[in-house]
């Protein structure tokens, strides 16, 4: 080993130097600069991937060998089904196999992503990278691209090989151009979903072993989506349409939304604080419950617990309501939009019920109690309460796994129906007072309470996509859960109970008065 001493020469130029020549971070305001920095990471990682025979081997096989095999199978299958006069089955198999040819290589993208994100964390090679001036976003984009580029190149290559062998083969059937575009788009968004999902999975673990186990949460839904897409390709009535299969467009659109949400979660999670803050994969339920309990009792942002119920309501509840204020505004707007949409749908001729105009409302008024009992039995109050509560609790639970979307889709459905019914009643010439009487005695409490519960659920689901400055996703989520539970137990459930009492006892009286019973 050469150990001769040579004086250090630190005088060479850098792009922008300080006194000692250290690089002052270049301003990173433009997308181009961000992308340029990200590509430094991408180039290194792609090169690294192509040096690993465990990655390059399957990619080569799936690009060149598998498409030819798939084409051969398609030709044999088409010949076979033609013998039974079922040409259509053979024809529908061809785009299905094109999709499979495209999908198999992108399944590798998740393996690369897990390796790139959690593998690097496990090998402790991430910290030197985190010590560089690259921003979290540049690192994230760089790694995302490096996970996607090799499998996508293989996927597009495989599909090209498949299509060339199809066009140069004996099969007469040619897939519609738009269907090919759809399959290419599906392949791309599926790769995006898997990679962005892998980042989220990686963030929850410190070992590739644990990450691979958690990856089932991506693989299984993705497999179900593929099965659904296959079924659509075989069964869709518009399979030959020049504008493509409409259901596939819907799936592409849905996957784009999922990708955007996962990208936001990934970008929120892939930061230095999160990456180095988590050291072991340990489930500490006791600690988690303690923190959630503390967040529930908190009356200020420092987490000071309430000293009395009055303080909890006056200060703690105000704190939580303030934190969900943006979700609250969104929910109110969304509910209003849904109500108006329901009304507009109800006014369009093809959706109108054409209610009879000469109904005896007096009979309805007389049978009101009987109708309530029909739905809720003898315990109308608890029946109404539980009916509303379970919907809100269910929507909240689903929100956790859907970034808040479930709450925004499920709870406003009833307002869509209300808008629709309002339209029918008005078109049939009934007084709007009837609707107001059936809604407002209890609705004055029930509607705000439902809006609050929905907003809290939206916040709880969406907070992981934007945890806030200097706060980890876990911390933000714990606080959001504390707020949700605080609002649920402090306002929503008591509100629903009061609303149920009003709905069972007061609303029927008011309705009877309006209907003239």
Partner 1 sequence: MIESHELTKYYDDFLAVSNVTLNVPSGTVLALLGPNGAGKTTTVRMLTSILSPSSGWARVAGYDVVQHPEKVRASVGVLTEQHGLYERMKAVEYLDFFGRVYHLDAETRKKRSLDLMERFGLTFALKKTLGEYSKGMKQKLALVRAMLHDPPVLLLDEPTSAMDPQSAKLVRDAIIELQRDQRTFLITTHNLAEAEALAQKIAIIRHGRIIAQGTFPELARRFVGDPLMELRIKGDLNGLAKDIGDMVSVQESGGDWLRYRVADPDATNPALIRRIMGLGIDVVTIAPVSQTLEEIYLQVVKEDENQVGTNEHLR
Residues that bind partner 1 (CB under 8 A): 1-10, 12-26, 28, 37, 40, 44, 48, 51-52, 123-135, 272-273, 276-277, 291, 470, 474-475
Maximum separation of any 2 CA atoms in the chain, in Å: 107
Q: How far apart are CA 312 and CA 305, in angstroms?
A: 8
Nearer to partner 1, 68 or 137 (CB): 137
> CA angle 237-239-244, nearest 5°?
120
Q: Report in angstroms how near the CB of residue 277 gets to partner 1 at its nearest.
A: 6
Residue 369 CB contacts under 8 Å (≥ 6 apart), including other chains: 508
Continuous segment of H or E residues that includes residue 453 = helix 432-462
Q: Report in angstroms how near the CB of residue 466 gets to partner 1 at its nearest.
A: 17
Residue 9 CB contacts under 8 Å (≥ 6 apart), including other chains: none
Nearest of 150, 109, 144, 127 to residue 38 by alpha carbon: 144
Nearer to partner 1, 300 or 369 (CB): 300
Q: Report in angstroms how near the CB of residue 206 gets to partner 1 at its nearest.
A: 13
Nearer to partner 1, 51 or 357 (CB): 51
**Do 190 and 225 touch, CB atoms closer than 8 A?**
yes
Residue 146's Cα: distance from chain center in Å? 23
Q: Report in angstroms how near the CB of residue 39 gets to partner 1 at its nearest.
A: 10
Q: Report in angstroms how near the CB of residue 75 gets to partner 1 at its nearest.
A: 41
Which alpha helices (H) appear in 324-411, and where do they start and end? 325-347, 361-366, 368-376, 380-401, 405-410
Burial readout 358-380 (b: 16 or more C-beta within 10 A, e: otherwise): eeebeebbeebeeebeeebeeeb
Q: Report in angstroms how near the CB of residue 113 gets to partner 1 at its nearest.
A: 17
Q: How far apart are CA 176 and CA 241, in angstroms?
A: 8
Nearer to partner 1, 3 or 168 (CB): 3
Q: Report in angstroms how near the CB of residue 305 gets to partner 1 at its nearest.
A: 14
Nearer to partner 1, 42 or 320 (CB): 42
Q: Report in angstroms how near the CB of residue 229 gets to partner 1 at its nearest.
A: 36
List phi, psi (to 5°) of 5. Answer: -90, 130
Nearer to partner 1, 346 or 467 (CB): 467
Nearer to partner 1, 26 or 220 (CB): 26
Task: Count Cβ atoms below 10 Å from residue 517 Cβ, excluding itself.
Answer: 16
Q: Report in angstroms how near the CB of residue 194 gets to partner 1 at its nearest.
A: 24
Nearest of 388, 433, 439, 434 to residue 418 by alpha carbon: 439
Nearer to partner 1, 16 or 87 (CB): 16
Q: Which residue has the tokens 């592409």?
A: 252
Q: How far apart are CA 141 and CA 197, in angstroms?
A: 14
Nearest of 63, 104, 73, 84 to residue 166 by alpha carbon: 73
Q: How far apart are CA 58 and CA 413, in angstroms?
A: 47
**Do 510 and 437 touch, CB atoms closer than 8 A?**
yes
Q: Report in angstroms how near the CB of residue 188 gets to partner 1 at its nearest.
A: 28
Residue 222 CB contacts under 8 Å (≥ 6 apart), including other chains: 190, 193, 194
Q: Report in angstroms how near the CB of residue 124 gets to partner 1 at its nearest.
A: 4
Q: Report in angstroms how near the CB of residue 117 gets to partner 1 at its nearest.
A: 14
**Do 183 and 159 touch, CB atoms closer than 8 A?**
yes
Nearer to partner 1, 137 or 326 (CB): 137
Nearer to partner 1, 36 or 325 (CB): 36
């Amino acid at each position: 080993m050469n150990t001769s001493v040579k004086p250090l020469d630190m005088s060479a130029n850098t792009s922008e130097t300080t006194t000692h020549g250290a690089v002052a971070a270049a301003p990173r305001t433009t997308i181009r600069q961000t992308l340029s920095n990200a590509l430094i990471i991408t180039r290194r990682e792609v090169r690294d991937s192509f040096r690993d025979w465990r990655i390059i081997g399957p990619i080569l096989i799936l690009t060149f060998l598998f498409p030819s095999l798939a084409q051969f199978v398609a030709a044999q299958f088409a010949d076979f089904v033609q013998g039974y006069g079922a040409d259509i089955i053979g024809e529908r198999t061809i785009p299905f196999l094109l999709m499979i040819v495209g999908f198999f290589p992108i399944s590798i993208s998740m393996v690369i992503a897990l390796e790139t994100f959690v593998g690097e964390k496990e090998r402790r090679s991430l910290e030197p990278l985190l010590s560089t001036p690259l921003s979290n976003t540049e690192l994230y984009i760089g790694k995302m691209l490096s996970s996607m580029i090799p499998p996508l190149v293989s996927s597009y290559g495989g599909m090209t090989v498949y299509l060339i062998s199809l066009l140069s083969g004996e099969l007469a059937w040619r897939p519609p151009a738009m269907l090919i575009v759809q399959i290419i788009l599906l392949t791309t968004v599926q790769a995006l979903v898997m990679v962005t999902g892998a980042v989220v999975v990686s963030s929850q673990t410190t070992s590739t072993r644990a990450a691979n186990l958690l990856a089932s949460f991506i693989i299984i839904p993705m497999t179900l989506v593929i099965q659904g897409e296959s079924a659509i390709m075989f069964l869709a009535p518009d399979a030959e349409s020049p504008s493509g299969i409409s259901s596939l467009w819907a799936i592409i659109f849905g996957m784009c939304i999922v990708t955007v949400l996962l990208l936001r979660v990934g970008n929120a999670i892939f930061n230095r604080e999160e990456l180095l803050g988590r050291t072991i994969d340990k489930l500490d339920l006791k600690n988690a419950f303690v923190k959630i309990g503390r967040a529930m009792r908190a009356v200020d942002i420092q987490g000071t617990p309430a000293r009395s119920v009055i303080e909890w309501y006056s200060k703690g509840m105000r704190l939580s309501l303030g934190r969900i204020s943006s979700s609250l505004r969104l929910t109110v707007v969304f509910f209003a939009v849904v109500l108006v949409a329901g009304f507009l749908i109800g006014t369009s001729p093809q959706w109108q019920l054409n209610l009879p105009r000469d109904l005896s409302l007096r009979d309805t008024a007389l049978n009101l109690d009987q109708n309530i009992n029909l739905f809720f039995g003898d315990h109308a109050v608890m029946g109404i309460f539980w009916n509303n509560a379970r919907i809100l609790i269910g929507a909240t639970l689903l929100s956790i796994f859907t970034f808040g979307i479930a709450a925004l889709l499920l709870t406003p459905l009833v307002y869509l129906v209300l808008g629709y019914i309002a339209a029918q009643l008005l078109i049939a010439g009934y007084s709007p007072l009837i609707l107001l009487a059936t809604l407002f005695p209890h609705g004055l409490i029930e509607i705000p309470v439902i809006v609050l519960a929905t907003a809290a659920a939206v916040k709880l689901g969406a907070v992981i996509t934007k945890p806030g400055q200097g706060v980890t996703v876990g911390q933000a989520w714990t606080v959001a859960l504390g707020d949700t539970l605080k609002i649920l137990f402090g306002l929503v459930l008591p509100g629903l109970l009061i609303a149920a009492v009003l709905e069972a006892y007061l609303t029927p009286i008011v309705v009877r008065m309006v209907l003239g019973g």
